[in-house]
Structure 1
Amino acid sequence: MSHIYKKVKDQLALLEKIETIIPGYRGYKEKELRRESDKIIRDYLFRVMTEAKNNFDESLISVVEAERTELFNTLNRIAAIMDRVAEKIHHAGYGYSGFFDAIKIRENELDSLIKFDYTLIENVNMLLQKCKELKALADERDFEAYRKKLDEIRKMLDELSAAILSRENLIRGV
């Protein structure tokens, strides 16, 4: 987590480095760097979720070709959940609080958001792996194992959705 923050900070232009020395500006800039780090992590999470969804969607071809209509409703529900989770990640709040907002987001809270998002990386990468396995099972026409893998993916999506809600609550101070 901190290596991403340090990388962003190291890439500041000379003028920005000078501005971090100006009294009062440094705290503002530090917050912006933390927000940028958080955004980089969330963008990565969204890209992995998109890849997972693509693998999931590709598995549907084999299901349709095999005319496994009993799976269609489950697949539609999981696809909708996956889209919702991906969009929540993509459009998640980034820890901004305006001057007059009742809830202020401080540096340590921004760091907590970055850590929280960083822990989601492992979960999203596991989801991607499960979706790749799902696609392979569909290609092999092993629909019994495919159905079990769908259950695993559904549980993972429920956990991700709950984690994202926890993140939103962290931002709101709830």
Structure 2
Amino acid sequence: MPDPQKHASNRGMLEWLLRKIPGFKGYLEKSYRRESDRLQREWLADHLQRAKQGLTDYTLALTNAGQIDQLAVCDQMRSRLDRLIARLRGGVSGYSGFFDFVQIGEDELESVYAHDSAMSSDVETLGEELANLASATEPPAVLMPQLLAKIDRLAEKVDRREDMLRGLSG
């Protein structure tokens, strides 16, 4: 996952010169924050998108085994994953404009970045579990509720992130 602290480093000579112009440094830093936030959300969404292949393989294995009654739960899981991916791709941005009603300060951004970092480990764990789904030994009736609960907890973390960026967190 992109590190927002390092995203603005290693810039070229032109950007170094532009930072010397009064007022332009702040503009560049907001641009870097905007880009870092977008990269974080894209990384999370892309990781979940790739993890869906494990669910597709598992659905195919269930179909081949004749366990068609379990396909509805697989579709429910796919739907929740798709919704989560869409929310991440189109989520609330981790920056605020000059005239925005809710101003996001550096301290709030640090909290959001820490939250995103924790969320990335959850996404990686879920991705690994979905990738290994086809080789699981537990029956679908045991696996599916556990995975749906993990997806729901991840969706709650996305809700929390959006609340933090809207200034609704306490």
- TM-score tier by shorter-chain length is 0.7 to 0.9
Detail structure 1 runs of 4+ shifted over 3 Å in the superposition. Answer: none
**Quick one: which amino acid aligns to residue 166 of structure 2?**
R
**Quick one: which amino acid aligns to residue 83 of structure 1?**
D
Q: Which residue of the partner structure matches residue 97 of structure 1?
A: 96
Contact 1:31-1:110 within 8 A present in 2 as well: no
Matches within 5 A, 1:2-151: 4-137=3-136, 142=137, 144=139, 146-151=140-145
Shift in Å, 1:157: 0.3
Match of 1:160 among 147, 151, 154: 154
% identical equivalent positions: 27
Aligned length: 168
Contact 2:47-2:123 within 8 A present in 1 as well: yes
**Quick one: which amino acid aligns to residue 158 of structure 1?**
D
Distance in 2 (alpha carbons) for counterparts of 1:51 and 1:165: 22
Q: TM-score, normalised by structure 2?
A: 0.88
Distance in 1 (alpha carbons) for counterparts of 2:35 and 2:157: 21
Shift in Å, 1:125: 0.5
Q: TM-score, normalised by structure 1?
A: 0.86
Contact 2:55-2:74 within 8 A present in 1 as well: no
RMSD, aligned CA: 2.0
Unaligned runs of 5+ in 1: none
Higher helix fraction (1 or 2) = 1
**Quick one: which amino acid aligns to residue 100 of structure 1?**
F
**Residues 115 and 32 (structure 1), Cα distance of their counterparts in 2 relative to 1, 3 Å cut:** farther
Distance in 2 (alpha carbons) for counterparts of 1:4 and 1:99: 24
Distance in 2 (alpha carbons) for counterparts of 1:165 and 1:152: 20
Distance in 1 (alpha carbons) for counterparts of 2:138 and 2:3: 41
Partner secondary structure for residue 98 of structure 2: coil
Distance in 2 (alpha carbons) for counterparts of 1:171 and 1:18: 31
Contact 1:38-1:113 within 8 A present in 2 as well: no
Unaligned runs of 5+ in 2: none
1:169 aligns with 2:168: no
